[in-house]
Amino acid sequence: MARIFLTGVAGFIGFHLASKLLNQGEQVIGFDNLNDYYDVNLKKQRLSILKENKNFVFYQNNLENLNILNEIFKNKDIDYVVNLAAQAGVRYSLENPAAFVQSNLVGFANILEVCRHHAVKHLVYASTSSVYGLNQGVPFSEKTPVNHPMTLYSATKKSNEMMAHAYSHLFRLPTTGLRFFTVYGPWGRPDMALFIFTDAIVKGLPINVFNHGNMIRDFTYVDDIAEGIKLTLFKPAEPSLEFSPLYPRPDISSAPYRIFNIGNQKPVQLMDYIRAIEKNLKLTAKIKYMPMQDGDVPITQSDTSALKDWVGYIPQTTIEEGVKNFVEWYQKR
């Protein structure tokens, strides 16, 4: 039984990953500050389910508190770490940048420190497709430099990748960053498009559709994401023989460091996504077409061939099935 320290455990992806790990008999030491960025009751409901498993332990605190992290690591003999805790929200980073600096930079630095000092076998951490920023060549490849972020949120995630590389190089700490592409599914966050659209349609309210609906997203079902994280966690990053210091690729290194996209690789038109919601609700959306938002991009599409080669990652869930599962959860919650 592996002992896994999982931050952001009460969050959307953290909850699904913890459930998967617990179901296969691992011990999960969960960590979350339960902040009020969105409805705390939803986080508490997720936690109440996890707490039914005897192999689950929970700590409520902030990543910025290095003392409490050190105390946990001294007492729990942790094997692996998954860092999903972060201040989320591309658009929220325009309103409250300080929250992103504290959680995503200071907090992540503390995670690296405790992993370094406590012989952790592998650190897997959440990055984002947002790091591709101004890049327009799709599908997005990890081999492409990502030096032009469009928001502070994406800049902090790019910084996490660079910080992780430094620790992998200096201390031989195996680290893997996973760039998530538009995750959706049951227990999703209320600030995400699927929840917002479904809630508004049910209540007869208009939905804002940006860039006049001309958006394409690599929507990825949450259980596929959780499976990919789990597979990656138990295969620690290794130095790559393909790395050349003369022509350095950003996704590999002479250090035990890797970067992978984790997406569905089958982008969907936003309007088709909305039609799938309408079909499952048996209701018609009232659509208000809007211009493009600051910090947004018209298309995301992942190239996940590297992760497939590394751990056999193949997403299984279609948009039709995933949206159906979400709507059923929404109606029962």
Active-site position among 37, 38, 125, 153:
153
* 222 and 13 Cβ atoms separated by less than 8 Å: yes
Cα 15 to Cα 46: distance, rounded to the nearest angstrom: 6
Burial 221-244 (b: 16+ CB within 10 A, else e): bbbbbbbbbbebbeebbebbeeee
221 assigned to active site: no
Of 175, 158, 59, 16, nearest to 111 (Cα)? 175
- Report the phi/psi class of residue 302: left, alpha or beta, with left for phi > 0 and alpha for psi in -120 to 50: beta
State both tokens at 304: 């996940």
Give the start-end residues of each E strand in the chain: 3-7, 27-32, 56-60, 80-83, 122-128, 175-180, 183-184, 206-209, 216-217, 220-221, 257-262, 268-269, 286-289
Cα 307 to Cα 59: distance, rounded to the nearest angstrom: 31
Cα 166 to Cα 290: distance, rounded to the nearest angstrom: 42
**CB-based contacts of 31, cutoff 8 Å, min separation 6:** 5, 6, 7, 8, 9, 58, 59, 60, 61, 63, 72, 85
Neighbours of 15 (CB within 10 A): 27
Can the peptide bond before residue 190 be classed as cis, meaning omega within 30 degrees of 0? no
State both tokens at 141: 């490849």
Cα 285 to Cα 305: distance, rounded to the nearest angstrom: 36
Query: Which residues are marked as active site?
Result: 153
